[in-house]
Amino acid sequence: MPNSAPLSGLKVLDFSQFLAGPYASLRLADLGADVIKVERAGTGDLSRYLYVSDVQIDGESTIFHAINRGKRSISADLRKEEDRARIWALIEEADVVIQNFRPGVIERLGFGHEAVRARKPSIVYGSISGYGTGNDWEALPGQDLLAQARSGIMWLSGGAADGPVALGLPVADILAGAALAQGLLALLVRRGLTGEGGLVETSLIEAVCDLQFELLTTHFNDGGRAPQRPGNFPAHAYLAAPYGVYRTADGYVAIAMNSLDKLAACLSLDAPFSGLDPFRHRDAIKAELATHLETRSTDHWIAIFVAADIWAAPVLDWKGLVESGVLQSLDMLGEIDRGGHGMRSLRSPLRIDGARASADTPAPYLGGPAPEWRRG
Ligand SMILES: CC(C)(COP(=O)(O)OP(=O)(O)OC[C@H]1O[C@@H](n2cnc3c(N)ncnc32)[C@H](O)[C@@H]1OP(=O)(O)O)[C@@H](O)C(=O)NCCC(=O)NCCSC(=O)C(=O)O
């Protein structure tokens, strides 16, 4: 008999839209929470349409569907009294409220933390902004690409001679959502112990700074020196050789931290690196490695590295990842059917009690049918 989902019975009212907030509520839905999205009457969550690419489901974005699977939707004009009353009725029974509007918006709509807490002191409330409040950036649009631009991570990425490069994925959004979910769960534990509600806040900039904690730590402690933009080669602004991504005859291999002697031995290098300091001489060492590695194929090198337990990996594209069979072995690829329209979707990254904890029901139609809370 499988155990019940850990958050079964938890009621989450989610005012959030786009990616960051909905990612937090997806994490809770995957763990069994009942998530009701509050969507603006008429338009709904703009990501239904803004993210539309050449791959759609039922005229809407597959990304919207992936991030909102397992949830339900209520459509509301929060400026209208009858809609506000419906939302308050849901809040009376909710455990968690989530929002990610620009600072001040949810307060003007009347559902800010103070207002909700006044009616429901045990509420656990989570809020994501672009840049927090009390600073010059607070009113600016909080969007992933823009947060990457302001955080240093875009400046850091790219080759030494290139301009900055955006990470090709919404790291600020996803990490802010994941951090918010972690905070909400901590507050739910506290509420279980003490009965107290609470407020957890994060922002895109906090999340994407946290992602850089390693490099920022070095930066803070070396007098603010700006490292050269590292690009792929070397791949890490501060680490010693051989850390980096190297071209092979037919692709690329990534090589992490390894003993230089061990690496030189397994590569049968003519001029091993003895006597060279892996940090001070890293450019010379990497240049030597690069010359050697580009002579043979990725498969050739990976076979040698695996046999010698060198920390290295081929650089795969998504096809290579899928063909590895690892996602399938982990049961992480899902199929969602929405009224006869099927799509494939990534399932949750968590396994609980030995089974994938993933909410695999389809994302909701805008506003309907109007949901009641599920009983736990
Ligand atoms: C993403 C945003 C830039 C979008 O900005 P805006 O388009 O200006 O939207 P806002 O959130 O500020 O809300 C705009 C107005 O909509 C009104 N509004 C919203 N919902 C409702 C409903 N249901 N009914 C009536 N009115 C509503 C709200 O009162 C505001 O009006 P007024 O009160 O009159 O102003 C911002 O929401 C933001 O900075 N959010 C914080 C960071 C964040 O999580 N961003 C999304 C990351 S995802 C991402 O980056 C990505 O997907 O890519």
pLDDT tens, residue by residue, 94-113: 999 999 999 999 999 999 99
Cα angle 333, 339, 345 (rounded to 5 degrees) comes to 15
Neighbours of 312 (CB within 10 A): 21
**CA gap 257, 288 in Å, rounded:** 16
Answer yes or no: 173 catalytic.
Answer: yes
- pLDDT category at 1 given cuts 50, 70, 90 is very low
pLDDT at 279: 84
Residue closest by Cα to atom 34 of ligand 1: 105
pLDDT tens, residue by residue, 226-255: 666 766 655 455 678 898 889 999 999 999
Q: What's the gap in Å between 147 CA and the centre of ligand 1?
A: 16
- pLDDT cut 70: percent of the chain above it: 95
Domain at 11-211+327-356: CATH architecture: 3-Layer(aba) Sandwich (3.40)
pLDDT at 2: 59
pLDDT at 217: 81
pLDDT tens, residue by residue, 155-172: 888 877 778 888 989 999
pLDDT at 158: 81
Separation in Å, CA 329 to CA 110, 147, 325, 336, 339: 47, 35, 6, 19, 28
Q: What's the gap in Å between 131 CA and the centre of ligand 1?
A: 14
Residues of the chain with CATH 3.40.50.10540: 11-211+327-356
Write down the mean pLDDT value for the chain.
90
Enter the tokens of residue 350. Answer: 């968590």
Q: What's the gap in Å between 15 CA and the centre of ligand 1?
A: 10
Least Cα distance to 170 among 256, 47, 338 occurs for 47
Ligand 1 pocket residues where CB is under 6 Å: 18-21, 40, 76-79, 100-102, 105, 108-109, 128-130, 141-144, 170, 173, 204
pLDDT at 227: 66
- Identify the residue with better confidence: 268 or 162: 268
Q: What's the gap in Å between 69 CA and the centre of ligand 1?
A: 21
pTM (2 decimals)? 0.89
Best of 15, 16, 101 to mutate for ligand 1, by most ligand atoms within 8 A of CB?
101
pLDDT tens, residue by residue, 303-341: 999 999 999 999 988 898 889 998 899 898 888 888 788
Residue closest by Cα to atom 44 of ligand 1: 100
- All residues at 6 or more sequence positions from 145 whose CB lies less than 8 Å from its CB, including other chains: 166
Under 8 Å between Cβ of 312 and 256: yes
- pLDDT category at 51 given cuts 50, 70, 90 is confident
pLDDT tens, residue by residue, 270-301: 767 878 888 888 888 988 999 999 999 999 99
Q: What's the gap in Å between 71 CA and the centre of ligand 1?
A: 20
- Identify the residue with better confidence: 318 or 119: 119
- pLDDT cut 90: percent of the chain above it: 59
Enter the tokens of residue 180. Answer: 């918010």
Residue closest by Cα to atom 18 of ligand 1: 40
Q: How many residues does the chain have?
A: 376
Residues 30, 144, 173, 317: which is the catalytic one?
Answer: 173
